[in-house]
Amino acid sequence: MGALRERWRGRKHIRDWSLRASFALYTLVGFVTATAVCSLAVNLLDSLRVNEARDFWLSYREYEVPPGGSYESWVNEDGLHYRILDRQGSEVALVEADGVTTRIAAEHWGNESAEGGEGSTVIMVIPLRSGEQNVRYTLLWLGTISVFPICYGGGAVLCGALFYHKKLKQPIALLRAASHKIAASELDSTIRWDRRDEMGALCGSFEKMRAALAESNRAMWQQMEERKRLNAAFAHDLRTPLTVLRGHAGMLREELESGSARPEEMAQDVRVMQAHIQRLEAYVEAMSSLRRLDDIEPRPAPVQVAALAKALEDEAHILCGGKEVALHTAGGGLCLALDQELVTQACENLLANAARYARERVAISVMAADGRLAVTVEDDGPGFTPEGLRKAAEPFYRAEGYSPQGHLGLGLNICRVICQRCGGELSLSNGVGGGARVRATFLGAQDAP
C-alpha cells in the first residue's frame, strides 16, 4: 500500500503519467467534449427543424360545409376553386388553390357536426413547400445526421492534437535536434526532458548514449594526442643513436678508403655501432609494446588479493637485489575480478623503477576495497623533481642528470596506459620523508572470497 501511495505521489501530475494513461485521459476529454457539442448541436438543429415544420403546417386553412349544404369545384387558369353553399344554396365561402403554393383536399369526417347531425365535409387548403423551404428543411435534416461524425471526428482530432502537443512535440524536437548535433559531432550539449513518462526515459537513454559517445570521442582524441606525443618523443630519441651511427659509419668509410684504418679502431667503431643498434632495437620493441597495450582488452578473472601481494613481494626481493622490502596489505581476504597479467606487468614496472632509484628500502602497499585494488610503491631515493611530477609518466621521459644505462623512460607510461585500460589511474607524488611514491589503481568487480 505504501509503495502504491509513493507511486501515486510521484505521478500525481498529468505530465508525469505514462503515454498510455495520458492517451486514455485525452481520449476521455475528447469524447466528453464531442458528446456535449453534439448534444447542443442536435438540439439546436431539431428545434429549427421542428419550428420549420410547425410554421408550415400551422399555415393550412379549413372550410366546413354547413349541414345540408354542398360544395362545387372547377378548374381554370388560376387553379382549383371550391364554392361552399349552405342549405338555401347561398355561397358561404370561395376556396382557391393555385396548385403551386397550396392545394385543396376534400375530406369527410365521420364525427357528428356541432349541431348533432351527421358528419360534415371539410375543405382543407394545404400549403405546399417552396423550393427554398425544401432545401432549408433538407439541409436541417442532413445537418442533424452529420453532427455525429463531425463532432466525434473533431473530438478524435482534438484528442490527438492535445496528446501530441503535450506529450510528444517537445521531446521529439529535442531528440531530432540532438540527433543532428550528434551527426555533426557536436557532443557537448545535453538533452533534458524532466518528465517521468516513456518519452522522459527515451530522452534519458539518448542522453546516456550522447554522454558515452562524448566520452568515447574524448578518449579517442586523447589516445590520438598521446600517440602523437609518443611518436614525437620516439623520433626525438632516435636522432641520437642515428647520429652516432652515421658519424661512426662515415669515419669508418673514410678510414677504409684512405687505408689508414687500424684493426683496433675499427673494432671500437663496430662495438659502438652495435651498442646503438641494440638501443634502436630496444626503442622499436618498446614502441611495439605500447601499441599492443592500446589495443589489448582486459580479461578479468578471480584474483586473491593476498596471493597477489605475496607474488609482488617475491618479485620485489628479486628486483631490489638485497635492499630492504616492506609489504603492507589491507583487504587481503578479498577476491577481485582483475586481469592479473596486466596488473602484474604494471606493478613490475613500478618495482623496477623503485629498485633503480632506491638507496636502501622499498615499501609496497596493497589495498583492496569497494571493488578497487590500489598498489602503492615507495622508495627512499631522490624522489621526483617538480618537472618529474608533471612529466614522469610521459613516454621516453628521463630525469635530467640521472639516466641509468638501458633506461628508455617508458616504465611509468606503460603503467599509466595499463591502469587506464583497467578502469583506474596512476598518480605520482613524493613521500613525507623524501623518495618517490607511485600509486596505481585498478577497477575490478568483487567476487565472493
State how far the Cα of 90 lies from the Cα of 268, in Å rounded to an integer.
Answer: 166
352-392 confidence digits (pLDDT tens): 888 888 888 999 999 998 888 999 999 988 888 888 888 88
Query: Residue 39: which residues within 8 A CB-CB, separation 6 or more?
Result: none
C-alpha cell at 149: 461524425
C-alpha cell at 425: 589511474
Question: 45-54: which pairs have CB atoms within 8 A and are 24 or more residues apart?
Answer: 45/140, 45/143, 45/144, 45/147, 46/144, 48/140, 49/137, 49/140, 49/141, 49/144, 52/133, 52/136, 52/137, 52/140, 53/137
Contact between 122 and 64 (Cβ < 8 Å): yes
- Which pLDDT score, from 0 to 100, does residue 23 have? 85
- Which pLDDT score, from 0 to 100, does residue 6 have? 53
Strands 445-447 and 436-443: what pairing?
unpaired
DSSP 182-209: HHTT---S-------SHHHHHHHHHHHH
Mean pLDDT for 280-297 is 67
Mean pLDDT for 62-68 is 80
238-265 confidence digits (pLDDT tens): 666 777 777 778 877 777 777 776 777 7
Mean pLDDT for 76-96 is 80
Q: What are the strands, taking DSSP E only, across 65-171?
A: 70-76, 79-85, 91-97, 102-108, 121-127
Mean pLDDT for 64-93 is 80
Across the beta sheet with 102-108, the strand order is 61-64, 121-127, 102-108
Give the least confident one: 221-225, 321-325, 435-439.
Answer: 221-225
Q: Which residues pair with 347 in a beta bridge?
A: none
Q: What is the pTM of this model?
A: 0.49
How many of the other CB atoms lie within 10 Å of CB of 151? 20
Mean pLDDT for 200-222 is 84
417-446 confidence digits (pLDDT tens): 888 888 899 999 998 878 899 999 998 765
- Whether 326 shows a pLDDT value over 80: the answer reads yes
- Calculate ∠ Cα 177-179-183, nearest 5°: 120
- Which pLDDT score, from 0 to 100, does residue 373 have? 92
Q: Give the confidence band of 113 by pLDDT, cuts at 50, 70, 90.
A: very low
State how far the Cα of 173 lies from the Cα of 282, in Å rounded to an integer.
Answer: 57
Dihedral (Cα; 3, 6, 7, 11), 10-degree rounding: 170
State how far the Cα of 205 lies from the Cα of 201, in Å rounded to an integer.
Answer: 6
Q: Give the confidence band of 217 by pLDDT, cuts at 50, 70, 90.
A: confident
How many of the other CB atoms lie within 10 Å of CB of 408? 19
State how far the Cα of 405 lies from the Cα of 419, in Å rounded to an integer.
Answer: 27
Contact between 333 and 305 (Cβ < 8 Å): yes
State how far the Cα of 204 lies from the Cα of 210, in Å rounded to an integer.
Answer: 10
SS3 60: coil
- Which pLDDT score, from 0 to 100, does residue 292 have? 65
Q: Which residues pair with 174 in a beta bridge?
A: none
Ramachandran sector of residue 425 (left: φ over 0; alpha: ψ -120 to 50; beta: rest): beta
State how far the Cα of 357 lies from the Cα of 437, in Å rounded to an integer.
Answer: 12
- Which pLDDT score, from 0 to 100, does residue 367 have? 92
- Which pLDDT score, from 0 to 100, does residue 363 have? 92
Give the least confident one: 4-8, 86-90, 96-100.
Answer: 4-8
